[in-house]
């Protein structure tokens, strides 16, 4: 790992333990400072794969900008839509920006089983935690809404701590229409699951 980060010149053991009269905490800071300097001078180069539509491409550009703050030099790898799913299914990427949402139902089962279950075809990172998967089943069977919410929060916390699929951002969307559009009933749990147009008419 040290070679990959360009840290071959750093000798932490010598810095931290080779000075008998040095406070170990200070020695540790010397080591960390030296490593940071080396990383800043030799940023890690990664390719950030993104599907070639604004919904994927724009956040990938923002991610690359944020990676610069920690001395990771990201390069945008644009992938045409027809090639995107095969690419991420093969896990053929260094860093991939995937937009995952639940359009039909606002329920944790959809995300947990689709994106994080060990055998899921759409578990693009290959994350697998059998103990946590047992909690997927448990929260799905839970009839008390508050207890289920707490279980899901515990699952989410564990997945974030384990880096299952780091969340870069959350999108916000809205449905807009002209005043002359009448009869449109929007859904309360999604913006894309209520496109039934039989009652809509134009007042003009």
How confident is the model over 82-116, as pLDDT tens digits? 999 999 989 899 999 888 766 556 788 988 998 89
Backbone phi and psi for residue 40, each to the nearest 5 degrees, phi listed first: -60, -35
Predicted confidence at residue 6, as pLDDT, reads 32
Predicted confidence at residue 95, as pLDDT, reads 92
If you write DSSP's letter for every residue of 53-119 in order, what string do you get?
SHHHHHHHHHHHHHHHTTTEEEEEEEE-HHHHHHHHHTT--SEEE-----SS---HHHHIIIIISTT
Q: Which residue has the tokens 């009652």?
A: 199
Predicted confidence at residue 74, as pLDDT, reads 94
If you write DSSP's letter for every residue of 112-137 in order, what string do you get?
IIIIISTT-TT-TT----HHHHHHHH
Of 6-20, 36-50, 137-151, 173-187, which range is least confident? 6-20
Q: What is the pLDDT of residues 115-164, one digit of tens each?
A: 899 999 889 889 999 999 999 999 999 999 999 999 999 999 999 999 88
């Amino acid at each position: 790992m040290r070679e990959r980060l360009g840290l071959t010149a750093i000798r932490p053991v010598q810095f931290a333990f080779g000075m008998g009269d040095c406070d170990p905490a200070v020695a540790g800071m010397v080591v960390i400072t030296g490593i940071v300097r080396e990383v800043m001078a030799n940023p890690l180069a990664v390719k950030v794969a993104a599907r070639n539509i604004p919904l994927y491409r724009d956040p990938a550009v923002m991610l690359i900008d944020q990676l610069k703050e920690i001395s990771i030099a990201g390069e945008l790898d644009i992938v045409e839509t027809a090639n995107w799913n095969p690419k991420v299914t093969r896990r053929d990427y260094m860093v991939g920006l995937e937009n995952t949402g639940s359009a039909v139902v606002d329920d944790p089962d959809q995300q947990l089983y689709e994106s994080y279950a060990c055998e899921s075809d759409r578990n693009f990172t290959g994350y697998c935690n059998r103990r946590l998967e047992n909690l997927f089943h448990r929260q799905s069977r839970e009839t008390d809404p508050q207890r289920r919410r707490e279980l899901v929060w515990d699952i989410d916390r564990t997945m974030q701590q384990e880096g299952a699929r780091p969340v870069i951002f959350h999108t916000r969307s809205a449905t807009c229409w002209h005043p002359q559009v009448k009869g449109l009933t929007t859904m309360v749990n999604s913006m894309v699951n209520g496109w039934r147009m039989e009652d809509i008419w134009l007042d003009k």
